[in-house]
Amino acid sequence: MILSDFIVNEEQTVLEVMKVIDINTKGVAFICKDNKLLGVVTDGDIRRFILRRGDLNSYIKDIANYNPRYVTKEEAIDYMSYMKKYSITALPLVDKDKNILTIHFLYDHKPVGNAKLNVPVVIMAGGKGTRLYPYTQILPKPLIPIGDKTITEIIMDYFEAYGCKHFDMIVNYKKNFIKSFFIDNEIKRDVSFVEEEKFLGTGGGLKLLEGRYEDSFFVTNCDIIIEEDYSKILNYHKKQGNIITIVAATKRTTIPYGTIDLDDAGQVKKLNEKPSFTFLTNTGLYVLKPEFLNKIPSDTFIHITDIIQNCIDSKEKVGIYPISENAWLDMGQMEELEKMRERLSSNVTK
């Protein structure tokens, strides 16, 4: 552990602290002045701030908890029991001046496997993957290798860590190749294949699942990995009563040019040198109520985003669960595919 990876100051922005939390992977940062503990902020605090439509350029001190839990080096306590008692995952050990000496964690690694969700997972694997040509002219996108596993196997691994054991895979392009791979695989999984007779888009194929589920279920693209607590995502979805919850990543983009603002008379009123913009991006992971499937027209090519918009227009509850940009791995394009391989490879070697 590098202590500096967990330390921020009061004048850093929410966005800057999000990046610190991404680096340390523990979901927490401590606000200090000259290493003296002042407060704490968690990824949950930031998520709630985003949902309140907070400005990510705000100072972190505006949302921090200035009554953090901590222990002194003189206290002889069971750190694990203490953290469980107060429902925290990180506990700083301080000296008499409240300088942080070290940090104890409830989990040695990012906590997975502590939930038994037993929720079905739909993997949308029917597309041609044209953005990954020439790879997908030979292999269907769900079987693109990332290290020693295919992307779909890695997605399944993540869900299985949370107790999601059953997968419904919508297939079309090179479907026999995909089916044979999982049927003949030495690692046996509970996979059902739902075959599209024609291409129905990212939404139309879901209609084939109507009537299968009695409660909410996950839907994921076959080219993304989300490194988040799936139990928290599901619980949030149910608590909000959403017909669909979109897992959305916070992205920041810098325009590599100076931009110009004009007034009503066409005169220049402001120059902006390489401005940055922050926005929420659809990652391709969703939680759906079964009723969502009723909104899809039968035997029709339609994208899931169009169905979501129809739900919004009809005043259905459509929500988001925000995550950091670093928690979203997307291999939809060649450049991103290589980044995913590097990232997952580095995760294995840690």
- Distance CA(223)–CA(143), nearest Å, equals 10
CATH 3.90.550.10: does it fit domain 121-248+278-349? yes
Which amino acid belongs to residue 255? Answer: I
How far is it, in rounded angstroms, from Cα 24 to Cα 31? Answer: 14
Q: Is the dihedral of CA 245, 251, 257, 262 positive or negative?
A: positive
What is the SS3 assignment for the chain? CCHHHHEECCCCEHHHHHHHHHHHCCCEEEEEECCEEEEEEEHHHHHHHHHCCCCCCCEHHHCCECCCCCEECCCCCCHHHHHHHCCCCEEEEECCCCEEEEEEECCCCCCCCCCCCCCCEEEEECCCCHHHCCHHHHCCHHHCEECCEEHHHHHHHHHHCCCCCEEEEEECCCHHHHHHHHHHCCCCCEEEEEECCCCCHHHHHHHHHCCCCCCCEEEEECCEEECCCHHHHHHHHHHHCCCEEEEEEEEEEECCCEEEEECCCCCEEEEEECCEEEEEEEEEEEEECHHHHHHCCCCCCCCHHHHHHHHHHCCCCEEEEEEEHHHEEECCCHHHHHHHHHHHHHHHHC
**Residue ranges of the domains in the chain?**
3-105, 121-248+278-349
Residue found by looking up tokens 């850093």 in the block:
12
**pTM assigned to the model:** 0.81
Domain 3-105 has CATH 2.60.40.1120: no
* Domains 3-105 and 121-248+278-349 fall in the same CATH topology: no
Alpha carbons within 13 A on the beta-carbon side of 303: 6
* 179 Cβ neighbours under 8 A, 6+ residues apart: 171, 193
Q: Please tell me the distance from the alpha carbon of residue 10 to that of residue 218, in angstroms, as a whole number.
A: 38
Q: What are the 10-residue block averages of pLDDT along the chain, 350 residues in total? A: 90 92 89 93 93 91 94 87 90 93 78 72 87 75 86 93 94 91 85 93 94 96 91 95 96 87 90 86 96 96 96 97 88 65 59
Q: What is the pLDDT of residue 146?
A: 83
**How would you classify the pairing of strands 7-8 and 28-33?**
parallel
8 A C-beta contact, residue 196 and residue 299: no
Backbone angles phi, psi at 162, to 5 degrees: -105, 15
Smallest Cα–Cα separation from 326: which of 5, 67, 24? 24
